[in-house]
Amino acid sequence: MYPEKVKMELVREHDIKFDDFKKYLFHEEKSLPEGYAGNLGYPSFATKDKGSKIINRMIDRMINECCDFLKPSYLR
């Protein structure tokens, strides 16, 4: 996490209705949404703490998935 590298003056908010977002969430749609600014939601509300929590959850989930994958099938 490098909050000092974030240029908040360049941040643009981009909201999308959930019904429209679902296509992207489940990879049904590959083209970018109209008005896409490189993010979805409200990046101005982001903090280092929130980002760390997200990253740590992702890492924990990946580790658990890898451990499950590497277990012998009779232990799953």
For residue 18, give the amino acid letter. Answer: F
Give the model's pLDDT for residue 21.
81
**Is the alpha carbon torsion for 31, 23, 44, 57 positive or negative?**
negative
pTM: 0.62
The better pLDDT of the pair 73, 65 is held by 65
CA–CA gap between residue 70 and residue 76 (Å, rounded)? 10
Task: Tell me the two tokens of residue 45.
Answer: 């509300």
Residue 10, pLDDT above cutoff 80: yes
